[in-house]
Amino acid sequence: MSETNTPAPEAAEGHRYTAAMAADIEARWQDVWDAEGTYEAPNPTGDLAGDPAVVARPKKFIMDMFPYPSGAGLHVGHPLGYIATDVFARHQRMSGHNVLHTLGFDAFGLPAEQYAVQTGTHPRVSTEANIENMKVQLRRLGLGHDKRRSFATIDPEYYKWTQWIFLQIYNSWYDADAKKARPVSELVAAFENGTREVPGGRAWAGLTAAERADVLNGFRLAYASDAPVNWCPGLGTVLANEEVTADGRSERGNFPVFKSRLSQWNMRITAYADRLLDDLDALDWPEAIKLQQRNWIGRSEGARVDFALGDEAITVFTTRPDTLFGATYMVLAPEHPLVEKFIPAAWPEGTHDVWTGGYATPAEAVAAYRKQAASKSDVERQAEAKDKTGVFTGEYAVNPVSGDKVPVFIADYVLMGYGTGAIMAVPAHDTRDFEFARAFELPIRCVVEPTDGRGTDTAEWEDAFVSYDAKLVNSAGEGISLDGLGVVEAKAAITDWLAGRGIGEGTVNFRLRDWLFSRQRYWGEPFPIVYDEDGVAHSLPESMLPLELPEVEDYSPRTFEPDDATSKPETPLSRNEAWVNVELDLGDGVKSYRRETNTMPNWAGSCWYELRYLDPNNASALVDPEIEQYWMGPREGAPHGGVDLYVGGAEHAVLHLLYARFWSKVLFDLGHVSSAEPFHKLFNQGMIQAYAYTDARGVYVPAAEVEERDGGYFYQGEPVKREHGKMGKSLKNAVTPDEICEEYGADTLRLYEMAMGPLDVSRPWDTRAVVGQYRLLQRLWRNIVDEETGQVTVVDGEPDEATLRALHKAIDGAGSDMAGLRFNTAIAKITELNNALTKAGRPLERSVAERLVLLVAPLAPHIAEELWHRLGHTDSVVHQDFPVADPAYVVDETVTCVVQVKGKVKARLEVAPSISEADLEQLAVTDAGVVAALGGAEIRKVIVRAPKLVNIVI
């Protein structure tokens, strides 16, 4: 043991537990823990291998959503989750587990880049400074992290593997039959030997390199595509669907977002839609998060149906094929590529005026309408309240069941990116179609019999009749009748009929889109991709990784007027020509290439970081398989394995958590990891809110300087208004953990944060209430240490029965509370015990004092370590066994209650001494022996003398 282990030097205030004493204790033990590697978790093998006896224990891998190292540092809201996982980890460690708990930094991202743009400081410099600052703040909290395992996503040794995983994904395709990813090399082999047909029907050998690359691009799980994407001129970058708000603006910055055709990298996450959905069932996650993922993936069962138009077929996706007889017109998305193919030169005979939009020819109408649609976001286009707009294309298709000619429109309420980008419109039974049909004077045909009292004459309807629980009408044609069938049977019947004729089939559609994976930014992982002179993409070999970010003069992407929809992105990396243009030997001699100049989105680094914690220094593999299997592998009762507890905010429901699951599945399919899911148990902590105060002008004033008096709030003498808000700079109400540590110590802060309420509930911060937990620690201290002499006051001998009962109840309750993440109630039980011991006013028996210290250790580790040593131990409290409750002292004492009927004893009941009269009476009159004795006689009176006697008079 190191010398720092000796008891604290006498603080100014003698031997009391004060802030100065806490500061001394905390700093001292933090140094010892670091020096001795107290929190290091051994791996079964490799450079972090350690004590085999510890490795042999059941493992617990506990994780927090890692922080972004912002320049503002931490406020007391941030560590809520970190403290919770720390208490849990400590309790698990003391309960016989090999616990892995550490924390890294998610350090690529926009704020550092924006700061760089403003100040010229390289993002790496400011980010590393922020990380250092945050580490100091976190260390002060006494978090038991295995520091050997920490890293930042910006470390080249880390992002080397992010790039490596990108290449794994790039070099894979999804085999829908095998339902898993496989190497592209196997696909190429199948094309070569003819076991799989090359799309387009040509022989593989006859294709040029560029043609082959094109074919493979259609299969790769990471692929470049020239498609409409969310272009945000105000930010100068494209965005993923998940980063666009419901109003069609950028989540960050609130700029307009436009659909623009750009060549971008995508991840084929849609290939995994089914598995991402199905595997949710086995995860121990909050139902609300699972539901958000299910909705985001959005599985719809329906059918594809072909409508003939000349030689072409327009394929629609519908969830209601049963309503096919009611399809009276069709709508294509304005961008639908078929449109060009069939617009006639002139409006056909009898074209309705309202259909033409006032244009002289279909071509003009379509061109004008397309332009208008391009300036709108998908969300705007789909807004329920919006007036339906569109134009006729000048052509008619044929309804395959009724044989009717139906006009084909383009309209922006149909999106290109969903289903097939074309719909059959059934105005009688779809709200949007109904509005459109009314606006464009199109026929509305009822095919589902209304059950709400209205008739089938749609001329009288005010809205569509939408129901899944009704019978079909007006739905008989050649060789098929759906009349009288319910919706479900009708769907099945028509789908069969269509399939039999080869003009349709049942299909499943997902709302989930592929994940747009490139950003026009500087501060992100470069893509390990280069383009040859023909523009064909090549992946870099592993030996060329990491591909490090080059220096550039200007970090900003070019931004544009926020509403300039015609602008195109320009990436910061493209400005470093020396880096962009390279001579490389990729196996066929030295050639010239151009590097990809987009960077990866900031979600990339967090898609797999759990794996790197396991084996952070491995230079030859992402993670050693044996180590991965040990920490992440599937085990009994959990088919997928994964992190045992993952704690973070609920705001990551569909971004990070979906992306990370997707990467895990690809790595699993390719055999790199043994768990197909990254996070087995997820817990969302609540938010710490804080009061904020505004003055008469509505401006926020510093909350720390507000005084409360006479039931009002005052700032510099003026009354201010109190409100509830998020904690942060903008509301001037941030409280830093450092301030609280200064004033009371980290143990008090930890206790206060954990005692504020159930972990998943948001709670208001109240600095004035912190002192309550400080007093608890002072009483704890006083129960063991003499404040005058500094001597430990414990005595030998056996505690009395009442003390044992209080102790074991607290052990039992607080232990299971900690295991169940109910830290607030654990603290309440410990407080109760501590108060009872204080009240008794006698020196504690050693066995009581020691167990009390062990109980407190997960929550307030510094004071516990100090007391543990003062009690004469030389090894750390961190690795002691958590006390075990003796059941004999946990069960409530009981007393025997005599029940008399007509003065004769008819039953004896064992009841709690504290039982209420009402409960006791209820117990007595329902007792089988008593009921028999009563023999159905009417009870006149029941006299209850709880807990010992019940007398029943009949």
Q: Strand pairing partners for 952? A: 901, 942
Contacts of 177 (CB under 8 A, 6+ apart): none
Contact range with ligand ANZ by CB under 6 A, out of 105-113, 319-327, 516-524, 629-637: 319-327
- In the complex with ligand ANZ, the residue whose CB is nearer, 302 or 605, is 302
Under rule CB under 6 A, residue 418 binds ligand ANZ? yes
In whole angstroms, give the CA distance from residue 524 to residue 109: 7
**Interaction residues for ligand ANZ, span 486-525 (CB under 6 A):** 509
Under rule CB under 6 A, residue 319 binds ligand ANZ? yes
- In the complex with ligand ANZ, the residue whose CB is nearer, 332 or 622, is 332
Report in angstroms how near the CB of residue 390 gets to ligand ANZ at its nearest.
12
- In the complex with ligand ANZ, the residue whose CB is nearer, 426 or 688, is 426
- In the complex with ligand ANZ, the residue whose CB is nearer, 467 or 816, is 467
Contact range with ligand ANZ by CB under 6 A, out of 411-419, 482-490, 808-816, 821-829: 411-419
Report in angstroms how near the CB of residue 304 gets to ligand ANZ at its nearest.
10
Report in angstroms how near the CB of residue 497 gets to ligand ANZ at its nearest.
16
Helices H, strands E: what count in the chain?
30, 34
Give the single-character DSSP code of 68: P
Under rule CB under 6 A, residue 414 binds ligand ANZ? yes
DSSP structure string for 520-555: S-SSSPBPSEEE-TT--EEEPPGGG---PPPP-S--
Q: Which of 77, 421, 641, 813 binds ligand ANZ (CB under 6 A)?
A: 421
- In the complex with ligand ANZ, the residue whose CB is nearer, 235 or 490, is 490
- SS3 label, residue 207: coil
Report in angstroms how near the CB of residue 486 gets to ligand ANZ at its nearest.
15
Tokens of 477: 């044609």
Contacts of 780 (CB under 8 A, 6+ apart): 17, 834, 852, 856, 863, 867
Instruction: Of 57, 59, 32, 54, give the one whose Cα is nearest residue 42.
Output: 54
Under rule CB under 6 A, residue 423 binds ligand ANZ? yes
Contact range with ligand ANZ by CB under 6 A, out of 54-62, 370-378, 414-422, 793-801: 414-422
In whole angstroms, give the CA distance from residue 409 to residue 376: 18
Q: Give first-to-last CA distance, the chain, whole Å.
A: 76
Contact range with ligand ANZ by CB under 6 A, out of 188-196, 220-228, 426-434, 937-945: 426-434
- In the complex with ligand ANZ, the residue whose CB is nearer, 314 or 414, is 414
Contact range with ligand ANZ by CB under 6 A, out of 79-87, 423-431, 785-793, 930-938: 423-431
Contact range with ligand ANZ by CB under 6 A, out of 311-319, 616-624, 675-683, 723-731: 311-319
Contact range with ligand ANZ by CB under 6 A, out of 361-369, 422-430, 591-599, 918-926: 422-430
- In the complex with ligand ANZ, the residue whose CB is nearer, 81 or 421, is 421
In whole angstroms, give the CA distance from residue 654 to residue 102: 24
In whole angstroms, give the CA distance from residue 534 to residue 153: 33
Tokens of 357: 């939009």
Under rule CB under 6 A, residue 426 binds ligand ANZ? yes
User: What is the identity of the amino acid at 902?
Assistant: K
- In the complex with ligand ANZ, the residue whose CB is nearer, 244 or 848, is 244
Under rule CB under 6 A, residue 389 binds ligand ANZ? no
Contact range with ligand ANZ by CB under 6 A, out of 141-149, 151-159, 369-377, 417-425: 417-425
Report in angstroms how near the CB of residue 335 gets to ligand ANZ at its nearest.
11
Q: Which of 32, 76, 401, 424 binds ligand ANZ (CB under 6 A)?
A: 424
Q: Strand pairing partners for 683? A: 647
Calculate the dihedral angle through the C-alpha atoms of 133, 135, 137, 142, rounding to the nearest 10 degrees: -170
Length of the chain counted residue by residue: 954
In whole angstroms, give the CA distance from residue 574 to residue 522: 10
Q: Which of 429, 665, 808, 906 binds ligand ANZ (CB under 6 A)?
A: 429
- Helix or strand holding residue 845 (H, E): none
- In the complex with ligand ANZ, the residue whose CB is nearer, 135 or 454, is 454
Contact range with ligand ANZ by CB under 6 A, out of 47-55, 107-115, 412-420, 680-688: 412-420
Count of Cβ atoms closer than 10 Å to residue 777 Cβ: 24
Report in angstroms how near the CB of residue 522 gets to ligand ANZ at its nearest.
36
Count of Cβ atoms closer than 10 Å to residue 124 Cβ: 15
Backbone angles phi, psi at 878, to 5 degrees: -60, -35
- In the complex with ligand ANZ, the residue whose CB is nearer, 39 or 465, is 465
Under rule CB under 6 A, residue 654 binds ligand ANZ? no
- In the complex with ligand ANZ, the residue whose CB is nearer, 61 or 418, is 418
Tokens of 29: 């033990």
Under rule CB under 6 A, residue 391 binds ligand ANZ? no
- In the complex with ligand ANZ, the residue whose CB is nearer, 323 or 684, is 323
Count of Cβ atoms closer than 10 Å to residue 437 Cβ: 23
In whole angstroms, give the CA distance from residue 609 to residue 631: 13
Report in angstroms how near the CB of residue 306 gets to ligand ANZ at its nearest.
14
Under rule CB under 6 A, residue 320 binds ligand ANZ? yes
- In the complex with ligand ANZ, the residue whose CB is nearer, 451 or 791, is 451
In whole angstroms, give the CA distance from residue 496 to residue 507: 12
Q: 101-117 burial, b if ≥16 CB within 10 A, otherwise e?
A: bbbbbbbbbbbbbebbb
- SS3 label, residue 777: helix
Count of Cβ atoms closer than 10 Å to residue 737 Cβ: 24
Decide if 117 contacts 572 (C-beta within 8 A): no
Q: Which of 114, 300, 356, 689 binds ligand ANZ (CB under 6 A)?
A: 300
**Interaction residues for ligand ANZ, span 326-365 (CB under 6 A):** 333
Q: Which of 151, 317, 329, 662 binds ligand ANZ (CB under 6 A)?
A: 317
Q: Which of 419, 562, 616, 745 binds ligand ANZ (CB under 6 A)?
A: 419
Secondary-structure breakdown of the chain: helix, strand, coil percentages, each rounded to the nearest 5: 40, 20, 40
In whole angstroms, give the CA distance from residue 922 to residue 916: 10
Report in angstroms how near the CB of residue 494 gets to ligand ANZ at its nearest.
12
Angle at 21 between CA 16 and CA 27, to 5 degrees: 160
Contact residues for ligand ANZ, defined by CB under 6 A = 300, 317-320, 323, 333, 414-415, 418-419, 421, 423-424, 426, 429-430, 509
